[in-house]
């Protein structure tokens, strides 16, 4: 293992063991302690270091592989992937910060907010038992008065009491999490899927029924635990992802970047 102290798993913690291991390994990769192309310790070494079962280690490695942080090569081991080939934003910013950086004035319209029971997907994303109470916040997001996307955010209600009483037509979700609860979102993972915008959403976004769009799913973490799951439908004519790739080993490289019309976040 690297020279940094290993966070052995705690069975007293509410965080699942494989998440504890994945979180520590992720930090080593993101911090640069392990460099792209470097082979990480094998399963047995990780098992000994973390005091976890081999099944737990394999679950953690599978999570990192799904995130695009490592590649697993049969017979050779697991290797840190070059992050420049992973599509996605390089910085974690709020919707307001993102829009102002693009020269647009941000605004939001709250369509609904309240407490409801988490369905199977939401519960899985937030690492909660199915049926747990979650805050559901649905907002229409604007740039210079033009609708850009429809976002539905889910957060654990137990962790954020009173969040459903905030006026999010004016407030930033991440800003309120930090101000009211001391929760700072540290990292997030986004998944992009091509979609056609259904009639009800198309009317809100002022586009024709069936217009092309992007479905974006985001899971955000703070303190090693998921605190937000958001599903967004974004206008295809105002939102796109541009990715540049490089071949490992070439001296010149190209970095992934997002188009200025690319994204509207929290």
Domain range summary for the chain, segments of one domain joined by +: 17-81, 95-235
DSSP bridge pairs for 142: 107, 147
Sign of CA pseudo-dihedral 120, 151, 204, 89: negative
Which tokens hold the place of 110? 């709250």
pLDDT tens for each residue of the chain, 266 residues long:
644 667 788 888 878 899 899 888 988 887 788 888 899 999 999 999 999 999 999 999 988 887 668 888 888 899 997 643 333 444 566 666 666 666 678 889 999 999 999 999 999 999 999 999 999 999 999 988 889 899 999 999 999 999 999 999 988 899 899 999 999 998 888 888 899 999 999 999 998 999 999 999 999 999 889 999 999 999 987 776 656 666 655 544 434 443 434 433 45
Task: For residue 121, give the 3-state DSSP assignment.
Answer: helix
- pLDDT (0 to 100) of residue 260: 37
CATH class of the structural domain 95-235 = alpha beta
- pLDDT (0 to 100) of residue 74: 84
**CATH 1.10.10.10 applies to domain 17-81:** yes
Sign of CA pseudo-dihedral 67, 68, 69, 70: positive
pTM above 0.75, yes or no: no
């Amino acid at each position: 293992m690297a020279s940094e102290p290993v966070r052995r798993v705690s069975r007293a913690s509410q965080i699942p063991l494989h998440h504890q291991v994945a979180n520590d390994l992720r930090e080593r990769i993101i911090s640069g302690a392990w460099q792209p192309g470097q082979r990480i310790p094998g399963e047995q070494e990780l098992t000994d270091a973390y005091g976890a079962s081999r099944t737990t280690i394999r679950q953690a490695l599978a999570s990192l592989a799904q995130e695009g942080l490592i590649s697993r090569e049969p017979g050779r081991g697991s290797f840190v992937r070059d992050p420049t080939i992973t599509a996605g934003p390089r910085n974690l910013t709020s919707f307001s910060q993102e829009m102002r950086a693009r020269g647009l004035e941000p605004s939001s319209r709250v369509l609904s907010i309240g407490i409801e029971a988490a369905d199977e997907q939401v519960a899985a994303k937030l690492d909660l038992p199915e049926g747990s109470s979650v805050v559901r916040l649905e907002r229409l997001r604007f740039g210079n008065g033009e609708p850009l996307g429809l976002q539905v955010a889910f957060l654990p209600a137990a962790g954020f009491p009173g969040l459903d009483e905030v006026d999010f037509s004016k407030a930033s979700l991440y800003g309120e999490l930090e101000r009211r609860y001391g929760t700072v979102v540290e990292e997030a993972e986004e998944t992009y899927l091509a979609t056609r915008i259904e009639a009800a959403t198309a009317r809100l976004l002022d586009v024709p029924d069936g217009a092309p769009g992007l479905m974006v799913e985001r899971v955000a973490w703070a303190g090693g635990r998921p605190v937000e799951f958001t599903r967004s439908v974004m206008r295809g004519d105002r939102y796109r992802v541009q990715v540049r790739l490089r071949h490992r080993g070439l001296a010149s490289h190209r970095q992934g970047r997002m188009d200025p019309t690319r994204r509207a976040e929290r």
